[in-house]
Amino acid sequence: MAQRPCRGAVALLGGLLLALTVGPLQAIATTPARAQAAEGAGMVMVLDSSGSMAGDDGSGSTRIASARKAVGTVADALPDGYPTGLRVYGADKAKGCDDTRLAQPVAPLDRAGLRRAVAGVRPKGDTPIGLSLRKAAGDLPRPAGGATGKRTILLISDGEDNCQAPPPCKVAAQLAASGVDLHIDAIGFQVAGRARAQLECIAKAGNGRYYDAPDARALARQLQRAGQLSAGGYRFKGKQIRGTMTPGGAPGIVPGQYLDTIGPNEERYYAAGLDAVSTADFSATVVPQPGAAVDSLDMLRTRIAYGTAGSCDSTSERFGQHEGATPLTSGVSRIPTQGGNGGCDKAGRYWLVVERKAAKGSDAARWPMELTFHVEHPLKKGVTPAQSEPEYGAGGKDASLPTTAPQDVTGGTGFNDARTLHQGVWRDKVLPAQTLWYKVPVGWGQQLRYDVEFANEPTVKGYSAHTSYGGTQVYTPFRAPVGSGTGQFSPQVSYSGRPASLSMGTVPVAWTNRYETHPDVVPVHRNGDFYLAVTLGAKAAEIAQHPQIGVVLRIAVLGQEKSGPQAGASAVRAEASPGDSGRSADGTPDGGGGWSTGRVVAVAIGGVGVLLLAGLAVAYGRARRKPQAGAGNSDPMRGGSW
């Protein structure tokens, strides 16, 4: 999970007992279809069918036979209709460095067709990996009209390229540089030495991930993981825009949602015209390839600049771990002071500035980036807002949460298709390096509190002392992360295949929270959908025996919902849906909102594991820059100057 270092250490201590279901590999192979694939998205598997694949896989079968079964397994696990194809090399000639062909074109998923295609493969010849990768890029669909899809080449090989024309690592780097939407994952089937080093090089140069498969079961597991991660990629939404490296010439933005890209150690500027009295909320979300190389201190910073005086405010978010990249979001707001005399209270031209900081050795690829911009108008004249609520109170770490039987659910891929949940207990499955997304409506005066529990999981053969992590973060309706640095909650827990749990929550929603000083209180100033992200670390792929790991969410929305943000607002009638006030920010009816959980998609999980949690302590911090000299933010109630 993307995390933020904090001002002090916080400890998560506790114990709980949980019955969680975890099924065998065969039971997990069937996965419900998620949202429709983005335009231009798709995957082509590139299968080694050279002579060495006729060898013994160590279990009495051949490597190619194991590969056929693995391809069938991943076909079962992919969502219905996901564009998928198969290319093979070394299957048609006893010798020849041009021996590569498209055995199954990239088209809406045809499970039977994939099985027939791979069943007809007979290992014969050489290993032209470089040429096959180049051809595979042409097999994939091309996004049209600026669409942001995710195109994957998934290479499965038991050896190195013996043709070297063209060199496979060089080809991978060239293809990855051709667009942010293309990446190359590699699975090494019973490889070592130079062969493994080459496959690792291909994955790294191709902005992808290397998976090691020492046996047939591992091959099926890793192929399923890689395929599902590709198909479950973040669903983007927004208007294409191109930020500038300096304020001059920056594109103008109005309230809405936008798409851009950002490279390592790069700044992007966007101009916005703001009035003198409204709050402006901005967010930036970068979406690297899951598991891409990052340093724990790699950072995404958002700030608001005005005139020549410097920044009105800025926030920084860090990955907080070095296992691999996950989506990372930073949010920042221009909040006029109560007195209206601050240096950033004037009407005029402002700039949203997004900066990506990357350490040496971190992923060098450009990352897709999603921007949001919202404007909150002031309350109507004569409306007095209720007092701020900066304390967790009943929603602290000791809050009582639901203990009912869990309902099955399938999380979304990002903010745009997050699955709506309500108070209760929910069960899902998560892949290593994957982030699942949910949203929970929270009304005025209410607060969100939840636990995330990761399943007891059989570990792989030969597993030693590796540990990964499970993580979570909660975001406001305007996508500001607010779950770290509170002294109450920690967004990460160690995971080693044994049961693990962590807690998260927000303070109650209050209009005047925007004038508080704590960075995890200030953004909780508007009712609406609060987003939950749940992540399992990439290294869990080296630990867990099953492709996916069970996860349970216990969700509570605490407090009586009020009809609006004003002082003395009446309670919402009992029959109203939680989190839906049916009123605008100034307490007048607006007819919007509504509680709609939609159809819950069933997820089949078998077997039972019993968890017992031991306490853990994890330190965090959040870097939040104070306004620079001359910004004029002297109001002690101004958010962001703590």
Phi, psi of 378 (to 5 degrees): -65, 160
Q: Which two tokens stand for residue 350?
A: 């402002």
pLDDT value of position 465: 60
- Give the pLDDT confidence of 603-614 residue by residue, as tens digits: 333 333 333 233
Cα 107 to Cα 140: distance, rounded to the nearest angstrom: 9
Whole-number percent of the chain with pLDDT over 70 = 81
Task: Give the three-state DSSP class for 267.
Answer: strand
Can you give the pLDDT at residue 142? 79
pLDDT for res 28 = 35
Question: If you average pLDDT over residues 60-82, what whole number do you get?
Answer: 92
Instruction: Say how far apart CA 96 and CA 126 lie, in whole Å.
Output: 6
186 burial (CB, 10 Å; 0-12 / 13-18 / 19+) is buried
- In sequence order, the 6+-apart residues with CB closer than 8 A to the CB of 253 are 241, 270, 271, 272, 352, 371, 373
Distance CA 149, CA 182 (A): 9
* 475 three-class SS: strand
Which one, of 17, 12, 14, 20, lies nearest residue 504 by Cα? 12
Residue type, 248: G
Q: Flag whether pLDDT at 511 surpasses 90.
A: yes
d(CA 430, CA 550): 6
Return the residue matching tokens 């933020």. 4
Sheet holding 266-274, edge to edge: 266-274, 348-357, 299-306, 311-318
409-444 pLDDT, tens per residue? 999 999 999 999 999 999 999 999 999 999 999 999
* Residue 486, pLDDT score: 63
> For 65-87, what is the mean pLDDT?
93
Cα distances (angstroms) measured from residue 589 to each of 121, 563, 572, 586: 65, 9, 12, 9
CA-based nearest residue to 152, from 194, 181, 114: 181
How far is it, in rounded angstroms, from Cα 455 to Cα 431? 12
Return mean pLDDT, the chain.
Answer: 83
Predicted TM-score (pTM) of this structure? 0.82
Element (H, E) at 26: helix 25-28
CA distance 451 to 403: 11
Residues 6+ apart with CB under 8 A from 248: none
